Chain A
Amino acid sequence: ILNVEQSPQSLHVQEGDSTNFTCSFPSSNFYALHWYRWETAKSPEALFVMTLNGDEKKKGRISATLNTKEGYSYLYIKGSQPEDSATYLCASEGAAGNKLTFGGGTRVLVKP
């Protein structure tokens, strides 16, 4: 059974500051790691899908790294803006089975 954990559960960031948070997942039976950005009352938005150890992906001011050997991924937000306020979800996909196992999310609030 996959157990995906995210920390912290929530964080407050001052506008303009950079921040990062963690997703940990079992490294055995790993296939891919997905990151989503989820605003209230909207669809979770796919940010990244990462598969290879050492992978780094970037989308605007948001980037992510992946360590499959130790089972963690970091998501970074550079120069946070109020529109970055959302819950960031990670999900592990095991052995190309399609089923995603989600962490509990990190709720980010960017204060102007």
Chain B
Amino acid sequence: EPEVTQTPSHQVTQMGQEVILRCVPISNHLYFYWYRQILGQKVEFLVSFYNNEISEKSEIFDDQFSVERPDGSNFTLKIRSTKLEDSAMYFCASSRDRGTNEQYFGPGTRLTVT
């Protein structure tokens, strides 16, 4: 069964460093998303991406964040200069279409900023 994969599973970085989190969505899906969950809090939306551009972003997704689909398979989230409060589990998701389609989630990357 097709699945969303994410690498790495765990990343530790120092404050101020850049990190890139990688995702491989399901191959025939057209919509891609990043969510995150800070420990003890709800899963929260960061950004959605369609047709090579951002379709919606939350207020969390400021200039420090960027997304890219560099080739036909990968979808990346870059944090330019990490802060302690960026420590969270980051989830990638993809869906075939808008609306009532399920969003399929990857297993997450745990980012720890020290």
Count class of interface residues, chain B: 20 to 34
Which residue of the partner chain, among A4, A41, A100, contacts B35 with CB atoms under 8 Å? Answer: A100
A104 sits at the interface (CB 8 A): yes
Is A89's CB within 8 Å of the partner chain B? yes
Complex Cα distance, B98 from A34, in Å, reads 13
Provide the bound-state CA to CA distance between A101 and B91, in Å: 14
- Interface positions, chain B 46-104, Cβ under 8 Å from A, are 48, 55-56, 58, 91, 95, 98-104
Known: A43-B4, A44-B91. A99 touches B42 (CB 8 A): no
Distance to closest chain A CB from B66 (angstroms): 18
Measured CA separation A51–B98 after assembly (Å): 13
Among A31, A98, A104, point to the contact of B48 (Cβ < 8 A): A98
A42 at the interface (CB under 8 A from B): yes
Q: Is the CB of A96 within 8 A of B98?
A: yes
A36 beta carbon closer than 8 Å to chain B: yes
Whether the Cβ atoms of A31 and B102 lie closer than 8 Å is no
Given A98-B55, A99-B56, A102-B44, CB of A43 within 8 Å of CB of B103: no
Which chain B positions have C-beta within 8 A of A97? 56
Question: Could you list 18 A-B pairs, sorted by A, with CB under 8 Å?
Answer: A31-B99, A34-B103, A43-B4, A43-B104, A43-B107, A44-B91, A46-B103, A96-B98, A98-B31, A98-B33, A98-B98, A98-B103, A99-B33, A99-B58, A100-B35, A100-B43, A100-B103, A105-B42
| Residues of A that sit less than 8 Å from B by CB | 4, 31-32, 34, 36, 41-46, 49, 51, 89, 91, 96-105
